[in-house]
């Protein structure tokens, strides 16, 4: 009963979080349309507040949330629940991600939902004194992805490929059951829908296969570039802030907020928030401006390096959609968008199975299975030329080191 209730709660909290995130983004964009200078005033202040609050009150809530869930599975029993997946961090993650969207940060809610799902499921181990903490973290993470995107298959594949990096027979039933229950909650509250709408664009002509190869290869190189810049930028930021912590802990997020505000103003607000609207428009055949993907790339990178709580899933898909639509041109924007998402996202996370399954489910593009698989594999291979280590697993080590050997919390950029 405790396990079932835990899975139900993951599904319900994921839906509430999604509605809060949508409200926050819509509110910020409406305020920006009413008065053009709102981003210059609100975005830098939001960055400073969120990174400060995460550091002082919710250590472990910084960044995506997926590295924390990965790190938690490698910690001794009880430590993950206390340090990275407590209820306090869970609700702090929700609150600060919503504030980030309310102030224009280029973040998504999907990565945070993974950490929240893992934290909520881990409470079951406290109630029932279950020994399989790792399995519960895996199940909660999968349920978080499934509920966030209404993509149950992607949730299962994500748990196998990205979270555990292997198929664990003893936890497969746990993962599947949790995903089913959380998915039923999502279906009951929001109905059956495809996250980015539906496209029927397919690869049929010879040059369409050329586009597939181009989107996979160039998308993977761009995704690998993002991954490497984020890792090296985060490490540089930690060292730079630590050199004069009293002053730079506020100066750094302030500068990041100013950059994100200026990028948003330059693109008429297109780079603020998740990028969902722009990605969906591209999937449905309405390509964003040629400069959108570059500006969104930069805004997401700066936001991630700042240490502000929030994920890169949706922003990365938006970058990939914009890149692919630009490469395909106006006549092939829809096909280019889905292929670009596959190549770029596989390049960022270096998880090709998750990339093509999640895009397949989010666009209802069943006729493009083989092209999506090819673009994802090409993206993965191209990314390895630029970034040697997978992004989330590399970031997870930043949480394992200080938490496993010290009582001190990680810094704001971790």
> Is 412 within the bounds of a domain?
no
Which of 121, 120, 130 minimizes the C-alpha distance to 77?
Answer: 130
pLDDT number for residue 263: 96
Instruction: Name the residue with tokens 């910690």.
Output: 75
Instruction: Name the residue with tokens 């302030």.
Output: 254
- Structural domain that includes position 339: 206-396
Rounded Cα gap, residues 361 and 354, in angstroms: 11
pLDDT number for residue 171: 60
Mean pLDDT, the chain, whole residue set: 86
pLDDT number for residue 413: 41
Which of 251, 236, 230 minimizes the C-alpha distance to 51?
Answer: 251
The tens digit of pLDDT for each residue in 107-164 reads 998 889 999 998 888 887 676 656 567 778 888 888 888 877 777 888 888 887 777 6
Are the beta carbons of 274 and 108 closer than 8 angstroms? yes
- From 151, 167, 194, the end of a domain falls on 194
- From 162, 194, 226, the end of a domain falls on 194
Question: Do residues 52 and 166 share a domain?
Answer: yes
pLDDT number for residue 203: 86
Rounded Cα gap, residues 180 and 170, in angstroms: 17
> Is 413 within the bounds of a domain?
no
Question: Do residues 211 and 119 share a domain?
Answer: no
Are the beta carbons of 140 and 118 closer than 8 angstroms? yes
Q: Which two tokens stand for residue 246?
A: 């009293």
Are the beta carbons of 28 and 101 closer than 8 angstroms? yes
Alpha helices in 103-168 (DSSP H): 110-128, 133-149, 152-158
Angle at 18 between CA 16 and CA 22, to 5 degrees: 120
Q: Which two tokens stand for residue 193?
A: 């829908």
User: pLDDT band for position 165 (50/70/90)?
Assistant: low
DSSP calls for 63-80: S-SHHHHHHHTTSPTTHH
User: pLDDT band for position 410 (50/70/90)?
Assistant: very low
Is 406's pLDDT higher than 60? Answer: no
Q: Which two tokens stand for residue 68?
A: 């924390």
> Is 302 within the bounds of a domain?
yes
> Is 212 within the bounds of a domain?
yes
Question: Do residues 293 and 329 share a domain?
Answer: yes
Q: Which two tokens stand for residue 15?
A: 């839906």
pLDDT number for residue 360: 87
This prediction's pTM: 0.90
> Is 401 within the bounds of a domain?
no
Question: Do residues 174 and 282 share a domain?
Answer: no
Question: Do residues 151 and 250 share a domain?
Answer: no
Rounded Cα gap, residues 212 and 207, in angstroms: 9
Question: Do residues 165 and 296 share a domain?
Answer: no
Is 411's pLDDT higher than 50? Answer: no
Provide CB contacts within 8 A for 110, sequence distance 6+. Answer: 144, 145, 148, 149, 311, 313, 314
Cα 373 to Cα 49, 145, 215, 348, 379: the distances in Å are 41, 20, 12, 16, 10
pLDDT number for residue 139: 85
22 vs 78, residue with greater confidence: 22
Question: Do residues 189 and 330 share a domain?
Answer: no
Question: Do residues 125 and 245 share a domain?
Answer: no
How many structural domains comprise the chain? 2
Cα 343 to Cα 151, 242, 279, 294: the distances in Å are 19, 36, 14, 16
> Is 406 within the bounds of a domain?
no
Is 208's pLDDT higher than 80? Answer: yes
Rounded Cα gap, residues 372 and 356, in angstroms: 6
pLDDT number for residue 414: 39
Question: Do residues 153 and 178 share a domain?
Answer: yes
pLDDT number for residue 316: 94
pLDDT number for residue 366: 79
Question: Do residues 164 and 226 share a domain?
Answer: no
> Is 69 within the bounds of a domain?
yes
> Is 52 within the bounds of a domain?
yes
Angle at 235 between CA 59 and CA 117, to 5 degrees: 40
Q: Which two tokens stand for residue 69?
A: 């869930």
What CATH number is attached to the domain comprising 61?
1.10.3080.10
The tens digit of pLDDT for each residue in 278-303 reads 999 999 888 888 889 999 999 999 99
Question: Do residues 162 and 221 share a domain?
Answer: no
Percentage above 70 pLDDT, the chain: 91
Which of 195, 163, 144, 250 minimizes the C-alpha distance to 22?
Answer: 195
Question: Do residues 122 and 260 share a domain?
Answer: no
Q: Which two tokens stand for residue 243?
A: 């050199």
The tens digit of pLDDT for each residue in 312-369 reads 989 999 999 999 999 998 778 899 999 999 999 999 999 899 888 888 888 877 788 8
User: How many Cβ atoms are within 10 Å of 52's Cβ, its own excluded?
Assistant: 15
The tens digit of pLDDT for each residue in 251-273 reads 999 999 999 999 999 999 999 99
- From 134, 168, 194, the end of a domain falls on 194
Q: What is the DSSP letter of 161?
A: I
């Amino acid at each position: 009963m405790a396990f079932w209730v835990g899975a139900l709660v993951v599904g319900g909290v994921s839906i509430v979080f999604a509605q809060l995130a949508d409200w926050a983004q819509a509110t910020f964009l409406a305020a920006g349309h009413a008065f053009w200078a709102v981003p210059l005033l609100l975005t830098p202040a939001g960055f400073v507040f969120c990174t400060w609050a995460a550091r002082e009150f919710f250590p472990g809530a910084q960044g995506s949330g997926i590295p924390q869930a990965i790190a938690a599975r490698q910690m001794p029993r009880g430590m993950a629940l206390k340090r990275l997946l407590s209820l306090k961090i869970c609700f702090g993650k929700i609150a600060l991600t919503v504030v980030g969207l309310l102030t224009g940060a280029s973040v998504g809610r999907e990565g945070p939902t993974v950490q929240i799902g893992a934290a909520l499921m881990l409470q079951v181990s406290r109630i029932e004194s279950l020994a399989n903490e790792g399995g519960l973290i895996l199940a909660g993470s999968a349920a978080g992805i499934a509920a966030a995107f209404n993509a149950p298959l992607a949730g299962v594949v994500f748990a196998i490929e990205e979270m555990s990096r292997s198929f664990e027979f003893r936890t497969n039933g746990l993962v599947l059951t949790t995903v089913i229950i959380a998915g039923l909650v999502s279906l009951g509250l929001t109905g059956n829908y495809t996250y980015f709408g539906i496209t029927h664009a397919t690869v049929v002509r010879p040059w369409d296969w050329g586009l597939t190869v181009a989107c996979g290869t160039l998308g993977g190189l761009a995704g690998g570039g993002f991954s490497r810049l984020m890792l090296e930028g985060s490490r540089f930021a930690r060292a730079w802030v630590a050199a004069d912590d009293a002053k730079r802990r506020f100066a750094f997020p302030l500068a990041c907020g100013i950059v994100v505000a200026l990028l948003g103003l330059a693109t008429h607000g297109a780079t603020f928030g998740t990028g969902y609207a722009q990605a969906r428009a591209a999937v449905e055949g309405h390509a964003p401006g040629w400069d959108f993907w570059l500006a969104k790339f930069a805004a997401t990178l700066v936001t991630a390096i700042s240490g502000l709580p929030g994920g890169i899933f949706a922003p990365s898909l938006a970058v990939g959609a914009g890149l692919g639509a630009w490469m395909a041109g106006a006549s092939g924007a829809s096909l280019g968008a889905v292929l670009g998402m596959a190549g770029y996202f596989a390049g960022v996370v270096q998880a090709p199975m998750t990339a093509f399954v999640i895009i397949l489910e989010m666009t209802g593009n069943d006729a493009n299975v083989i092209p999506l698989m090819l673009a994802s594999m090409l993206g993965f291979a191209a990314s390895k030329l630029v970034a040697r280590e997978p992004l989330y697993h590399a970031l997870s080590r930043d949480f394992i080191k200080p938490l496993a050997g010290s009582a001190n919390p990680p810094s704001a950029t971790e």
